[in-house]
Every structure is written in C-alpha cells, then in structure tokens.
Amino acid sequence: MEGMEKSFVSPAALSMRTLVEEFKKLPGISLKAAQKLSYSILCDPKMKNTLKKIIELSENVEICDKCGTFKPAGADCANCADDSGVICVVATYGDMSAIERNGCFKGSFHILGGLIEPLEHILPENLRIAELKERVLANPGKEILLALPFSIEGDATTLYIKDSLENCDVKLSRIARGLPAGAAPDVLDRRTVLEAFNGKTYIN
C-alpha cells in the first residue's frame, strides 16, 4: 500500500529533531552536544529556566551600530559616547575583552567585526571601516591605535584602513611586532599584550 512506505515520526521525536537542528546553528556546537542540550532542555525543568534567562539577557543587549561593542538595548553606547581618548581598533569582541582584561589600554574601542579575507568573502564593506572613518571625521586630530593580528589578513586590513584615512586629520599607530605571527590578542598573556601596546609605532 502507498501509505505504508512513509515512516511514522512521533511529535516528540519531531520536536527533539527540530531542537537539535536549532542548537547545531550555534557556533562550536557539534551534533553530539546539540543532542545532549536538547535532551536536557526537554527533560529538566531547570534547564528550561536557564534557556529563558539566556534569551532574556540576549534581548537586553545589542550591538552598537557605530563602534560594534555591546550596549544595553535602547540605551546610548558608553564606549563611543566619549571619543576624547585614543580609539583602539580590534577585529573581534574577544580581542577587545582580552585587552580590557589586561588593563593596558584606557581609551575607547572600535570592533571591525573581522579582517579583510576576500577568499572567505569578507570585504571592507562587510567590516566597520566606514563607521571608523565617521568617528575619525567627527573627532579631528585624534589617535587611532590598530591592535590587529600580524597576519596576511591583519596586514591587508591595516593597509586598507591606512589608505581610507589618508586625507583625514588622524594619528595612526599600530601595536608592536612583539606578537607571535598570526596570534590575536585574545590568546596572549598580559606581558605580551603590554609589550605590544608599549612598543606601538606610528604608521602615517
């Protein structure tokens, strides 16, 4: 019979399957981890509360359009409200939090959201470079410190930023070549990061 060929999937199994698919969309979550998380959510009421809290917290935080850092939803951004100091440009949030943790920088941050990688389809327009230029134009004479990795992508991004700020009234500096090739600040210890910041060089 025609109908016999279709296998029956119970509503519970379907929910589990959907949940697993959703968890798998999260970065760093394997199929096995997604299955484990899904099982916990469905079986443990405490886990349901944890999930609710995660959703509530994430809804209370948003990314600032201007500087790329996190800010309370609907509120002004504390990071870019005061642009009187040096602006430190980093590729990712992880880099920013490593620098903050090390306490070696006191100005404000600008998160690009990655590095230029044409082969990965990450182009300058996909990063917050135009927004950086806007901050520079709004605050003439200030210093921009590039804390980008010393890799092909980091160098390409540095060069692009240097070119795009060429006619601007800005002092452009880059952290020292004290970093191991390809290592981002988020994997470095305090001493290495301090040396990198203390040995910065001006590049324009």
Name the segment binding Zn ion (CB under 5 A); options: 17-25, 70-78, 119-127, 142-150. Answer: 70-78
Query: Among candidates 127, 115, 125, which has minimal Cα distance to 155?
Result: 115
Tell me how many residues contact Zn ion (CB under 5 A): 6
Name the segment binding Zn ion (CB under 5 A); options: 15-23, 75-83, 88-96, 141-149. Answer: 75-83
Handedness of CA 182, 185, 190, 193 (dihedral sign): positive
**Tokens 């990198």 belong to residue:** 196
Please select the residue that binds Zn ion; options are 34, 37, 80, 89, rule is CB under 5 A: 80
Q: Which residues contact 60 (CB under 8 A, 6 or more apart)?
A: 72, 73
Binding of residue 89 to Zn ion (CB under 5 A):
no
Binding of residue 77 to Zn ion (CB under 5 A):
yes
Please select the residue that binds Zn ion; options are 34, 37, 38, 66, rule is CB under 5 A: 66
Q: Which residues contact 196 (CB under 8 A, 6 or more apart)?
A: 147, 175, 176, 178, 179, 185, 188
Q: What element of type H or E holds 129?
A: helix 129-138
Please select the residue that binds Zn ion; options are 20, 34, 37, 79, rule is CB under 5 A: 79
Binding of residue 96 to Zn ion (CB under 5 A):
no
CB of 112 to Zn ion, least distance (A): 13
Q: At what angle do helices 152-164 and 129-138 cross, to 10 degrees?
A: 40
Provide the 3-class DSSP secondary structure of residue 157: helix
Please select the residue that binds Zn ion; options are 34, 37, 67, 89, rule is CB under 5 A: 67
Draw the binding track, 16-55, toward Zn ion (x: CB under 5 A; -: no contact).
----------------------------------------
Q: Which residues bind Zn ion (CB under 5 A)?
A: 64, 66-67, 77, 79-80
